[in-house]
A and B are shown apart, each in its own frame.
Chain A
Amino acid sequence: MTEKVLSRGTVVIDVDACKGCDLCIDACPPRVLIMTTREVNSRGYRYPLLMAGCTGCRACSQICPDFVFQVYRYDTPIEMEVR
């Protein structure tokens, strides 16, 4: 069974800019960012993945010290799968 949630926004992640600091994970109010566990970027750092449910609130881009995020808000919220 596929569960669906509404995403109001999304992000573009500059994976290679990330230094794996994890600040975005706790900063995200709907908690839709999760760090990779084994995948690493070209510099050896883990980086964030985005799950469904982003609200485009910009908390991640504002808290990120390495300017990893570009944040978009959809004109119309989009239904997305969770599982």
Chain B
Amino acid sequence: MTRRLLEGSEAIAEAMIVAGCRFFAGYPMTPFTEVLEHMADKLPAVGGVCMNAESELEAVGMAWGAAATGTLAATGSTGQGLSLMQESLAEMTLARLPLVVLNMARAQGDYFQATRGGGHGDYRHLVLAPMDVVEAVRLTQVAFHLAARWRNPVLVFGDYYLAHTAQSVEVEALPLEDLPASDWALDGSSGGSGQAKLVSPLGSAKQRDRVGYDLAQHYQECVVATAEMVAGVTPMAETGFTDGAEVVVVAFGTPGRYVRAAVGQLRAEAVPVGFVRPISLFPFPSAVVAAAAESARAVAVYENNQGQMIDDVRLAVLGRAPVHFIGGLSLDSSGFGIAPDLDVNVIRGRIQRVVAESEGPR
């Protein structure tokens, strides 16, 4: 049990290794770069492979190949780099492959990319959004577990703060249940058996059984697998002060800590506010948000973008209360999302305005 002061990038790298990750590929891009540096440094020492890919496209390709062998694999980037990976991410999901993908995002404008998927076709990825380094160490390991359990990519949504903030953490293996055997994985050995394995987004039907791929049937099977995954993963959220809250504030990731702090301060001043911090962005904790909104006068959403998670909040609230956007684009001139308005006092003020506007008869 050794607590060390680690910046998020390093803690996440160590968490990946402790989770069993033995293949990583990446391309430098702020604020993801340090994760690649740490993996390049640490992974070979445990017998793993870290590839400095020639672009994000090849990074996800290399991770795809490694994942197909049953090796626990991961890749990552920031939003723009993830944009390049979208075709592969969509198709890897159809190939039913586990993969952990890090988005060390610039602000929170990648919420749609993460939760809707920027790729083509019907697919879903599980998305986890840690708010700080301690939570990231836990959720990174959970991500590998979920990816292997459901044979589906899992995205961990971080940001610049997470990458570059140092916190005192222990990186210890979580006691998670054993992963299912990956008997679908390739290693060459089933060659010549009449049952040689196939890992493909087009399906697993062989011509010896019927002629050609039946993509419609394969997509149906993937739909069923997705539904099982969604049903099998309990949405995660943190809530606070929601009992009797007249205004409920929803925020995710690093801003979630600031909102939590603002709500705590206001409650100490007897202002009846509460918060919900979604931790799994997909599946979204709709029931938790709905329950919190049940007796609220208003719901406020704080996020560093033009309003993305607010869509999911509105769907969850479903008219029980008006939903107000109190976030905004990051004001950081570098574009890295280090928002000057990530300020507890500023957030307090915005919450108080919503409280004031929602006073009076319902």
Determine direct contact between A and B, CB below 8 Å: no
